[in-house]
């Protein structure tokens, strides 16, 4: 069954982790053997070959570059201009992958339908470009530049403070620039990604924004209590807006009590079954399976050390089909989760 994954940091892995994503995951791990500069070295799960092996024909692929002020403990760039340049390097990598026949950018309904109709596991992986955190937009005029380059979705916040919106670990509303950004996004018919917004920012954004909204990679606060997760009230708002929520596979978002860089997925019994628990919760709130999907975030600054133990490569997302069947999901529900919900959302957004 075809899969759409709505959140992968492919270019970040290619450029900042120096991973040749044309290679199989096993080859990438071999190249990184013995390296210690990052906790997830030799533990990656994502490559273009493994996307094809998992019948993952369309992804939402990110550009990401944070601006940090002096004294910040977060990694990032010392000016918005540097952050913008980093995102343009990431865009250049996607373009090179297109030239190599590895990927194909999808920017409109016609291209979307063609990708779905013609997809097989020998063809380029389709990608929709998304910006995770808006810090790199030097000013609002840069949004239109990004749109011309194919940007179709944007999440104003990431971790920590932000020029347009505070993110995970922070409190407070959107900045005045953030409100202006939403207006410009609306005018361009872009998709607003509410992932990483504060509670105040979420309420403000979903009230102000008139266009299409999704939560590309999120789980449920009721099951794992953290501000990064969606509360039941927020999930209900998204359901009312016709949004889709992509279930994320970072272990700390799947099970309470996870200790970063200490806990082990096997010892903590972190498997794909836990993701289905989060799906179940959202489906119960919605009364149907129309609002859950996949937004794995695999290799989003973590690898197998912080993924479900039954994930070796991203191709193992296919294991969800049998697991969902065992939990009582019908074939139509599984198709919704694997690809139909994202497709329906995009076809409505791009009509």
The range of the structural domain enclosing residue 271 comes to 3-349
Q: How confident is the model at residue 148 (pLDDT cuts 50, 70, 90)?
A: very high
Q: pLDDT for 20-37, tens place per residue?
A: 999 999 999 999 999 999
Tell me, what's the pLDDT at 92? 98
Are 4 and 343 in contact, with CB atoms under 8 Å apart? Answer: yes
User: Residue 113 maps to which CATH number?
Assistant: 3.20.20.140
What's the mean pLDDT in 110-132? Answer: 96
What's the mean pLDDT in 230-248? Answer: 98
Are 50 and 296 in contact, with CB atoms under 8 Å apart? Answer: no
Q: Provide the token pair at 339.
A: 């690809």
Number of domains composing the chain: 1
Are 12 and 64 in contact, with CB atoms under 8 Å apart? Answer: yes
Distance of CA 32 to the CA centre of its chain: 24
Tell me, what's the pLDDT at 347? 98
Rounded distance between C-alpha atoms, residue 105 and residue 94, angstroms: 8
Distance of CA 128 to the CA centre of its chain: 11
What's the mean pLDDT in 45-58? Answer: 98
Tell me, what's the pLDDT at 110? 98
Rounded distance between C-alpha atoms, residue 283 and residue 299, angstroms: 27
Q: How confident is the model at residue 270 (pLDDT cuts 50, 70, 90)?
A: very high
Are 165 and 200 in contact, with CB atoms under 8 Å apart? Answer: no
- As a dihedral over the C-alpha atoms of residue 235, residue 240, residue 242, residue 243, rounded to 10 degrees, the angle is -20
Q: How confident is the model at residue 268 (pLDDT cuts 50, 70, 90)?
A: very high
Are 57 and 63 in contact, with CB atoms under 8 Å apart? Answer: no
Length of the chain: 351
What's the mean pLDDT in 134-157? Answer: 98
């Amino acid at each position: 069954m075809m899969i759409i994954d709505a959140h992968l940091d492919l270019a970040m892995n290619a450029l900042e982790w120096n991973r040749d994503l044309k290679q199989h995951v096993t080859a990438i791990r071999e190249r990184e053997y013995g390296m210690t500069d990052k906790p997830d070295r030799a533990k990656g799960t994502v490559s273009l070959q493994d996307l094809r092996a998992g019948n993952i024909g369309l992804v939402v692929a990110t550009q990401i570059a944070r601006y940090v002020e002096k004294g910040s403990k977060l990694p990032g760039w010392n000016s918005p201009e540097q952050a913008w340049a980093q995102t343009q390097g990431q865009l250049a990598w996607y373009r090179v992958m297109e030239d190599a026949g590895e990927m194909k950018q999808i920017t409109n309904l016609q291209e979307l339908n063609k990708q779905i109709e013609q997809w097989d596991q020998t063809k380029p992986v389709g990608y929709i470009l998304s910006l995770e955190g808006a810090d790199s937009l030097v000013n609002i005029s840069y949004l239109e530049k990004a749109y011309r380059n194919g940007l179709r979705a944007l999440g104003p916040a990431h971790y920590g403070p932000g020029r347009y919106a505070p993110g995970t670990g922070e409190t407070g509303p959107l900045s005045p620039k953030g409100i202006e950004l939403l207006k410009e996004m609306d005018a361009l018919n872009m998709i607003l990604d509410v992932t990483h917004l504060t509670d105040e920012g979420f309420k403000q954004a979903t009230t102000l924004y008139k266009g299409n909204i999704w939560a590309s990679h999120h789980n449920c606060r009721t099951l794992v209590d953290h501000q990064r997760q969606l509360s039941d009230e927020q999930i209900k708002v998204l359901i009312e807006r016709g949004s889709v929520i992509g279930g994320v596979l970072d272990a700390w978002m799947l099970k309470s009590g996870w200790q970063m860089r200490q806990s082990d997925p096997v010892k903590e019994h972190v498997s794909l079954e836990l993701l289905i628990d989060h799906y179940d919760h959202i489906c119960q709130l919605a009364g149907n399976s129309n609002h859950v999907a996949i937004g794995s975030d695999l290799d989003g600054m973590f690898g197998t050390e912080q993924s479900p133990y039954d994930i070796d490569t991203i191709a193992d997302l296919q294991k969800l089909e049998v697991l969902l069947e065992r939990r009582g999901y019908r074939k139509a529900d599984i198709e919704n989760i694997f690809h139909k919900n994202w497709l329906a959302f995009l076809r409505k957004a791009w009509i």
